[in-house]
Amino acid sequence: MIRVIVTGACGRMGREVLRAIWNTDDIELVGAVDPNGNGIDIGTFLDTGKVGILAENNLEDVLLKSSPDLAVDFTGPQTVYKNTISLLNHGVRPVVGTSGMNVEQINNIIKLSEKLQVGGVIAPNFAIGALLMMKFSAEAIKYLPFVEIIELHHDQKVDSPSGTAIKTAEAIVEQLGNDSHQGLAGEIETISGARGAKYTDGIRIHSVRLPGLVAHQEVIFGGLGQTLTIRHDSSSRESFMPGVLLGIRKSMHLRKVVYGLDKILFECKG
């Protein structure tokens, strides 16, 4: 049994993770952390009645009491880096779904994990379909040389652009190398930001935040007389759970933190 705690347990993603873990046979839920937990029994979120596991607000205390093998983090951009460093220093494997960390923070985490030989995963997106979208986009750019990314999320998402959009742009840039020629030289924005944010090599990323959305992204490619759109939609947070469970199981065999669930998924598939 893999002993797991969930940080950000009372949030919408955290509750889905609690339910997913509770319904597995090989993963044991041993603790929950949330600043708004106030000692609530997590059975409230599982519709099981009390289960004896309380959502507490101090990560260090929960780590010492529950001795987990791994922690799943769905907190927020303000706390995820500190949480992940703390987990590694306790020898606890992190599976991080929280976005908002910068490149330096991610690299620091990977370096520390290598030093401590503690595996884990930081995943901008746990939906298998989203990983395929990124993989197909990296292939499409070889043939259609112009691209823009539009990501759409619910109105409670605090960071933009999404981690998925950034990861998609990274995958595309890896394929482009020094051959990128995105956008029109000298174009004028009459309203600043109208053309979205520029990622490395000038790839434009546009963020939409509206109630009613969950997590969606389309990557639009342009070529001579044609366009290609690759789109992924998560209509519920359940879509992320198979990827979270995969991340938990595979992290137990890693000796450092990897960035992107694709590093696990496509490697496993050969």
Domains within the chain, CATH numbers bracketed:
2-118 (3.40.50.720), 128-234 (3.30.360.10)
What's the pLDDT band for 5 if we cut at 50, 70, 90?
A: very high
Percent of the chain with pLDDT over 70: 95
| Pairing label, strands 215-223, 226-234 | antiparallel
Question: Containing H/E element for 206?
Answer: strand 204-209
What's the pLDDT band for 270 if we cut at 50, 70, 90?
A: very low
Dihedral of alpha carbons 262, 172, 105, 233, sign: negative
| DSSP track, 134-197 | HHHHHHHTTTS-EEEEEEEE-TT--SSS-HHHHHHHHHHHHHHTT----S-TT---SSTTTT-E
Give the DSSP letter of residue 64. H
Give per-residue pLDDT as tens, 146-192: 999 999 999 999 889 999 999 999 999 988 875 565 666 678 888 98
Q: Residue 11: its pLDDT value, please?
A: 93
Give per-residue pLDDT as tens, 238-268: 999 999 999 999 999 999 999 999 988 876 5
What's the pLDDT band for 105 if we cut at 50, 70, 90?
A: very high
| Pairing label, strands 120-122, 93-96 | parallel
Catalytic residues: 153, 157
Q: Residue 269: its pLDDT value, please?
A: 46
Q: What CA dihedral angle connects 252, 241, 160 and 71, to 10 degrees?
A: -40
Rounded to 10 deg, the angle between the 241-251 and 12-22 helix axes is: 60
Average pLDDT score, the chain: 92
